[in-house]
Amino acid sequence: MDHFALRDGVLHAEDVPLPAIADAVGTPVYVYSRATLERHARVFREAVAGLGEGEPLVAFAVKANPNLAVLKVLAREGLGADVVSGGELARALAAEMPPEKIVFSGVGKTRAELEQGLDAGIFQFNLESEEEGVELAGIARARGIEARCALRINPDVDAGTHDKISTGKADNKFGVPIGEAEGIFARLSALGGLRLRGIALHIGSQLGELEPLETAFAKVGKLLESLRAAGHDMRHVDLGGGLGVPYKDGERFPSPAEYGAMVARATAGWGVRLVFEPGRVIAGNAGVMLTRVIRKKQGVRDPFLVVDAAMNDLARPALYGAYHHFVAVEPRGAQETANIVGPICETGDTFAMGRECDALEAGELAVFRTAGAYGATMASSYNSRGFVAEVLVDGDKFAVVADRIAAGAIMDAERVPEWLA
């Protein structure tokens, strides 16, 4: 459920009519709903409450939506952060997410990033390789401390999602093969400098089925037993994120409650504190991208709706062939079949071909729905279009939470060397 709905024929975000935001901020612009973010955070927290030892840690996957105001809303709901770079760690801290609620994942943490995590006193590093463990152990020993960490394993299951967002198959770059985990645990524990006390996994994103997760969790359960038998003090398991959300009307996805029930089954008797890293399920349907039709151009078959948003603002359709529902802000009731495209000079800049959608004319507003996750954060300035703005709505008020970075400001950061002038 989200808080974007038609009222008197005009699409609103909570109590704010979207044309008011377009007038004040311009388009394209991402619009997030605070009430929706809060609702999703609560629903997820409730779905996993009481599972495992102590209160589970729900660490929002910052990559899904790193906007500071969004992180602040989630921090106030008690969520922590799953970060994958020094930049994301700095954001989580700036949003006042407590270090003891921050986990650091990522296959290529640099030495500087490992240091940054230790400086901050984060909850845990999720090690993605033995090599990373060796480096972290060295840094921690030099400081005379033990770095809290878990080993990310690759369970070799097919998550059944798009290849580019699948992470748990044997030949993916993430984690260590599950069969090698015991040896790595033994060697890393012997080094000193690491408090290696857990297992982490994440098999992919936009998962439509719970079975692959349950299969992976069962493998983790077995590994947990063998590691305990080998004398390791196992305290945490980080089950990652991945729960999918509906992008099309009428699509059905496992609910957080169904996910929670599966986790309860799969982890019964583990005796560990559980960590979750949800991203999309928290932020996806909490945002839309608002855009204006620049021009309606005749096509060979269907007309082209050329909108002022492009693949640089919302990359998912171009990158993954992803579907984003497209609706008019002030629908007239009529439908038409159209090709929805941006102004960028490549055919990849196509949001949808032959899409049955609300009839629209030049100058009218529309939104791409389910754009709150992996939307603005994946923006670029391709075609010198600048960076898209972001707005947060709270009841009847709204605020710009990321300025539009104009093409000129990006140009200002570039230099022509003296010897070219």
Q: Which residues are catalytic?
A: 345
Q: Which is nearer to ligand LLP, 22 or 41 (CB)?
A: 41
Minimum CB separation of residue 179 from ligand LLP in Å reads 21
Comparing CA positions, the residue from 94, 151, 86, 97 lying closest to residue 119 is: 86
Comparing CA positions, the residue from 236, 277, 279 lying closest to residue 124 is: 236
Query: Residues 6 or more apart from 142 whose CB is under 8 A from it?
Result: none
CA distances (Å), 139 to each of 108, 112, 143, 193, 294, in order? 16, 10, 7, 8, 55
Q: Which is nearer to ligand LLP, 320 or 382 (CB)?
A: 320
Comparing CA positions, the residue from 196, 201, 256 lying closest to residue 231 is: 196
Question: 104-123 burial by CB neighbour count: b if 16+ within 10 A, else e?
Answer: bbbeebeeebbebbbebebb
Minimum CB separation of residue 167 from ligand LLP in Å reads 6
Residues that bind ligand LLP in the complex, under the rule CB under 6 A: 61, 63-64, 82, 105, 165, 167, 202, 205-206, 240-243, 277-281, 316, 320, 374
Minimum CB separation of residue 206 from ligand LLP in Å reads 6
**DSSP character at residue 357:** E
Q: Which is nearer to ligand LLP, 105 or 193 (CB)?
A: 105
β-pair partners for 297 = 304
Counting Cα atoms < 13 Å in the Cβ hemisphere of 230 gives: 18
Minimum CB separation of residue 73 from ligand LLP in Å reads 17
Comparing CA positions, the residue from 142, 129, 131 lying closest to residue 193 is: 142
Q: Which is nearer to ligand LLP, 61 or 402 (CB)?
A: 61
Comparing CA positions, the residue from 332, 323, 380, 329 lying closest to residue 340 is: 323
Minimum CB separation of residue 61 from ligand LLP in Å reads 3
CB atoms within 10 A of CB 38: 18
Minimum CB separation of residue 174 from ligand LLP in Å reads 7
Counting Cα atoms < 13 Å in the Cβ hemisphere of 287 gives: 30
Report the Cα–Cα distance between both ends of the chain, in Å, rounded: 56
Minimum CB separation of residue 333 from ligand LLP in Å reads 32
Specify whether the CB–CB gap between 195 and 137 falls below 8 A: no
Q: Which is nearer to ligand LLP, 224 or 281 (CB)?
A: 281
Q: Which is nearer to ligand LLP, 174 or 398 (CB)?
A: 174
Question: 192-204 burial by CB neighbour count: b if 16+ within 10 A, else e?
Answer: ebbbbbbbbbbbb
Q: Which is nearer to ligand LLP, 61 or 376 (CB)?
A: 61
